[in-house]
Amino acid sequence: MEGTRGHILQLMVMGVLLGTAFPVHRAVQTPEYDDTSTPEILNPSWMATIPDIYSLSDVTMPGTHNTMALYGGSLSECNSWSLAFQLRAGIRFLDIRVRHAKGNLTIHHGISYQYAHFGDVLMDVVAFLREYPSETVLMRLKEELSNTRDIYGAVVRYINEYAHWDLLWHSREMPSMGEARGKLIVLQDFTGPDLGILYNSLDIADDWKVSTHLKHFDEAMELACGLAEGAQREEDTWEYHLEEAFERKLSKYAGLVSDCKQAGWRARCIPVEVGCRGFATRFLASAYIELGVQGVSKRSAFCSTTEAAERASKWLWLKRGEPWSAK
């Protein structure tokens, strides 16, 4: 690691701030600031011109803070471009935060669920590196909101399910540009066996606080932190029994699936579980993929489904005191 320390600063010092959404705010697109949904300029293969013999630590790497924070209002949103657009615009450092509950790794910014899971991140990275093998992607990966300190097993399972083991750079040493091409380099900010380069072993420049349009930012952040602590105490509120329900339904319809296959049909059962507060398990995304819904369309459908669950739950709560009618 001696060759890594002191050089990795260049990988993150040029962090790109994509626009944060604010109420009553028109989108702005300038060379310095962009909070539109689509980048004006795409530069998906800029690393192709870098000689293979260069160390990756000699490359200034544009990146985003809280890469997947696209929802939740002004206190949670950090970016306005999807991950696919960020990568095609030239972003190469990703800051990924996952909540760990019952084996699921969902994407969060504090208490704000980002309508995605770690598999979505991996699929976007795999698709990008397959299309642009001259590039490399660095990913800081850490646990957010939950505090299990035991996400290694779930991370490995997601990698095997949504990517492949050879995609990763399996060394603590800094690769050359030639060695890094086509690789996902995990900057591991969690305990467990090595999956890449240990984040805390690096010299980090993490000045993520920048000037803001919010007049009472400190007070608002204090409130958000208090809400996060309260949400953490409500263990498994969003995910409660979803995994158990999935397994129960999978078993319930196994006979029907078998009968369909024996009749010569293609059949697969994918129970879709969405909690009353809009939390969706990774199987919802799997169902959309199975149906051929991908990319932006999948994200839109995912959000619509979870929002519908929240609206339905609210309606049931408001009507809880009224008698049910047979009509």
Least confident span in 108-117, 163-172, 197-206? 197-206
- If DSSP codes are grouped into helix, strand and coil, which group holds residue 230? helix
Token pair 């604010």 is at which residue? 22
Confidence of residue 25 (pLDDT cuts 50, 70, 90): low
Q: What are 264-276's pLDDT values in tens digits?
A: 888 878 777 776 6
What residue segments make up the domains of the chain, in order of their start?
9-201, 242-318
- DSSP class of residue 8 equals T
pLDDT of 212 higher than 70: no
Task: Tell me the pLDDT band of 184, cut-offs 50, 70 and 90.
Answer: very high
Over residues 31-56, the pLDDT tens digits come to: 667 788 888 889 999 999 999 999 99
* DSSP β-bridge partners for residue 141: 96, 188
* Residue 302 scores a pLDDT above 80: no
CA dihedral 310, 115, 106, 86 (to 10 degrees): -170
The whole-number pLDDT of residue 162 equals 94
Q: What is the largest CA-CA distance in the chain?
A: 75
User: How many Å apart are CA 124 and CA 130, to the nearest integer?
Assistant: 10
Q: Can you tell me the mean pLDDT for 135-161?
A: 95
Of 26-30, 191-195, 215-219, 297-301, minimum mean pLDDT range: 215-219
Predicted confidence (pLDDT) at residue 83 exceeds the cutoff of 90 = yes
Report strand pairing: 104-109 vs 197-198: unpaired
For residue 166, the model assigns a pLDDT of 95
Q: How confident is the model at residue 16 (pLDDT cuts 50, 70, 90)?
A: very low
The stretch 82-105 carries a mean pLDDT of 94
**Percent of the chain whose pLDDT exceeds 70:** 75
Give the tens place of pLDDT for each residue, 281-298: 667 777 777 777 877 777
Work out the pLDDT band at 89, boundaries 50, 70, 90.
very high
pTM of the predicted protein model: 0.65
3-state secondary structure of 96: strand
Domain boundaries 9-201, corresponding CATH code: 3.20.20.190
The answer on pLDDT for 5 being more than 50 is no
Instruction: Encode pLDDT of 217-263 as tens digits.
Output: 455 555 555 544 454 444 444 455 666 777 788 788 888 888 888 88
Q: What is the pLDDT of residues 107-130, one digit of tens each?
A: 999 888 888 999 999 999 999 999
Q: Does residue 86 surpass a pLDDT of 60?
A: yes
